[in-house]
Amino acid sequence: MEDAIRSILSEIGENPDREGLLKTPQRVQKAYQFLMQGYTQDPEAILKSAMYKEECNHMIIVRDIELYSMCEHHLLPFFGKCHIGYIARNKVYGVSKLARLVECFARRLQVQERLTQEIAASLMGPIDAEGVGVIIEAQHLCMMMRGVEKQNSRMVTSAMLGSFRSEQPTRMEFLSLAGMK
């Protein structure tokens, strides 16, 4: 990877041997390893490490989970917040595992649409949830720094599964509690 970064620096017209860039290939390699650590994590194992039997069949929501990811089209960051809701069937997730799941999928090359769906699909099965809703609001540097250069644009995606999809009152309750209505 370091050789590739040196090559990129040369291709954009920089001198990879100048003082300020000498250690850039190593720094970029470390940064990418951190930013892409989701590839080394197992989402199923994350969730299974904290599932608890609980007499619970109501909506559980965690709002404003910060996320940082990398657009797979331009290798530029996008960042925002994820809101997760689910209706349990006598099993619940440890709350921090929801944030860890978001982090696991976000720390991969992504498109926001797939990221939203991956989170929702992963949550549904392990506890046999009645329904799951995931909303992501994010700003994309590939749209802000280049191309159309729209600084205040925000993309919103949602994935609604089970009762969140089939029952309008459930969906509306989630949207309201997630601050979307």
Check residue 55 and give its pLDDT: 87
Tokens representing residue 24 in the block: 């850039």
| Phi, psi values for residue 110, rounded to 5° | -145, 165
Our answer to whether residue 74 is catalytic in this structure is yes
Q: Catalytic: 72?
A: yes
Sign of dihedral through CA atoms 118, 120, 123, 124? Answer: negative
pLDDT of residue 102: 98
Please state the pTM of the whole predicted model.
0.94
Residues 109, 151: one domain? yes
**Cβ–Cβ under 8 Å, residues 154 and 138:** yes
Tell me: do 98 and 162 sit in the same domain: yes
Asked whether residue 44 is assigned to any structural domain, the reply reads: no
Measured distance CA(24)–CA(6) in Å, rounded: 8
Residues 19 and 56 in one domain: no
Q: Model confidence at 82, in pLDDT bands (50, 70, 90)?
A: very high
CATH number of the domain where residue 73 is located: 3.30.1130.10
**Range of the structural domain that residue 16 is part of:** 2-35
Q: How many domains does the chain have?
A: 2
Given the residues 82, 112, 118, 173, select the one marked as catalytic. 112
User: Is residue 142 a part of any domain in this protein?
Assistant: yes
Q: Which residues contact 86 (CB under 8 A, 6 or more apart)?
A: 59, 60, 93, 123, 124, 127, 129, 130, 131, 132, 133
Q: Would you call 41 a catalytic residue per the annotation? A: no
Taking residues 25-46, what's their average pLDDT? 97
What mean pLDDT comes out for the span 5-19?
97
Percent of the chain with pLDDT over 70: 99
Q: What is the pLDDT of residues 112-166, one digit of tens each?
A: 999 999 999 999 999 999 999 999 999 999 999 988 888 889 999 999 999 999 9
